[in-house]
Structure 1
Amino acid sequence: MVRRSRSSSPTRADVVLGLIRAEILNGRLPPGSRLGFTDLGRRYAVSTGVLREVFPRLVEQGLATTEAQLGFRVIDVSVERLSQLTEARVAIDTLITRQAVARGDIAWEAEVVAKHHALARIGDEAASSEDVSEEWLAAHEAFHIAILNGCGNAYLVETAARLRSIAEVYRCWSWPEQNRTHRDIAGEHRDIMEAAIARDADLAAKLTETHIRRTTELLISARTAADQPAP
């Protein structure tokens, strides 16, 4: 049987997935909140059938969970889970980064530089506004994934990408407080890019670990401050 190729145009499910993903990452669908078929069907003017396709894809991306009798929910968050997530990301991302630097070819170098340029063109302003730009989120993910792709192991890259999606939920969890801390995110990305294409695996891995841990430290600090009772 000849399999029909899928159109490159996004389906209704693709569009709704992008909308719900943006709502989750910007905190408008908060951690732990229920993803109801009726409410979201009315909100996005789509059928239950479309949402039955979308919700499992959110689970695959690590942005939602599903349990018998409870249905679908946005993933819950806590400082303990964030710490565990950070340890997992550091272990996997540094491993893949070392492999990518060792195995990546000239085409990989060009892709890393191109994705970094695209991210830099958007600028840090898009990352520090109250609503994080979908354009920045996409460019940020594309830059980091471009580096990891050099390892040549799709399973490792998919695992890292899933953990990165979960980490973005934490980013919005304490975004307003985190933005009060000055941080040269653009400089961190530039340094990682330069170390990678210079084939300095130790430095690229070290900078990647620092980048991940610094984000976690700021998130925990911001969350702790937000939870403190007002004087």
Structure 2
Amino acid sequence: MATASTLTEQVLAGLRTDILAGRFQPGTKLRVSDLSERFQVSASAVREALNRLSEQGLAESLPHRGFRVTPLSIDDLQDLTRARVLLESMLLRESMRLGDLNWEATVVAALHKLQGLAILRSDGEVDADWVDAHSHFHHALIAGAGTTRLTDVAMNLRDRAELYRHWSRMLAGDSDRGVGAEHAEIAELAVARDEAAAEALSAHIERTTDALIAGLPELTPP
């Protein structure tokens, strides 16, 4: 029989996948009763999962009104982008300085797996396997720095940015962007210990922000 902790983890994994795949739009209300029925678990397991999602920045707790998917906002996006650029570029530089042959192999393997997957499924939705491989690739780039705490912070920020990355591609008309080529360039420069890798990673992160702001005029401040 599944434990309460196991049930919470199952709900958390399912909701996280749905949110990152764009099945719940930003700002959508997450009703405990609906989710409890959907996952066939208790309301307490759903609430715990939603609290965990809030800690990850993918959901928000509304006082006396439950939870919702984190809404999009230009101010939040710009602050998030700046934080990611500063932290991830620093960690990548440290990875290039300290990373060994195993780190290089991990980066190359993560890129290979990512390139073997299509972003979209046949039904037009983002493939959950691609989302996971994308996250693993970005983790591999910075893991060579040898600081678990900062790496965890960077990945939490990256998870929150995944909402923006998804809507940038789906709503901002950025589908022609050569994301695969960007990933390949970053990986190649990184394993070559080329300082330009950090610049390429920063540009990769910033392009998502530029595409979203340009393509979603409803987010532009009056």
- Rounded to whole Å, the distance in 1 between the matches of 2:26 and 2:175 is 23
- Structure 1 residue matching 2:29: 3-state secondary structure: coil
Q: What's the CA shift for 1:98?
A: 0.6
Count of matched residue pairs: 217
Cα deviations across residues 153-175 of structure 1 (Å, max 9, x unaligned)? 11111111111111111123344
TM-score (norm 1): 0.85
Give structure 2 stretches of 5+ with no counterpart: none
RMSD (CA atoms): 2.4
- Structure 2 residue matching 1:118: 3-state secondary structure: helix
- Could you tell me which residue of structure 2 aligns to residue 4 of structure 1? none
Residues 119 and 139 in structure 1, CA contact (< 8 A), matched pair in contact too: yes
Residues 73 and 219 in structure 2, CA contact (< 8 A), matched pair in contact too: no
> Which of residues 20, 24, 27 in structure 2 aligns to 1:32?
27
Residues 169 and 175 in structure 2, CA contact (< 8 A), matched pair in contact too: no
Closer, same or farther: CA 71–116 of 1 in aligned 2, 3 Å: same
Closer, same or farther: CA 98–81 of 1 in aligned 2, 3 Å: same
Closer, same or farther: CA 190–206 of 1 in aligned 2, 3 Å: same
Closer, same or farther: CA 129–190 of 1 in aligned 2, 3 Å: farther
- Could you tell me which residue of structure 2 aligns to residue 3 of structure 1? none
- Could you tell me which residue of structure 2 aligns to residue 130 of structure 1? 124
- Rounded to whole Å, the distance in 2 between the matches of 1:53 and 1:188 is 37
- Rounded to whole Å, the distance in 1 between the matches of 2:123 and 2:95 is 32
TM-score (norm 2): 0.88
> Which of residues 188, 209, 213 in structure 1 aligns to 2:202?
209
**Letter of the aligned partner of 1:223 in structure 2?**
L
- Rounded to whole Å, the distance in 2 between the matches of 1:15 and 1:22 is 11
- Could you tell me which residue of structure 2 aligns to residue 169 of structure 1? 163
- Structure 1 residue matching 2:144: 3-state secondary structure: helix
Give structure 1 stretches of 5+ with no counterpart: 1-6
Alignment of 1:131-170 (within 5 A): 131-170=125-164
Identity %: 39
Alignment of 1:1-231 (within 5 A): 11-123=6-118, 125-126=119-120, 130-200=124-194, 202-224=195-217
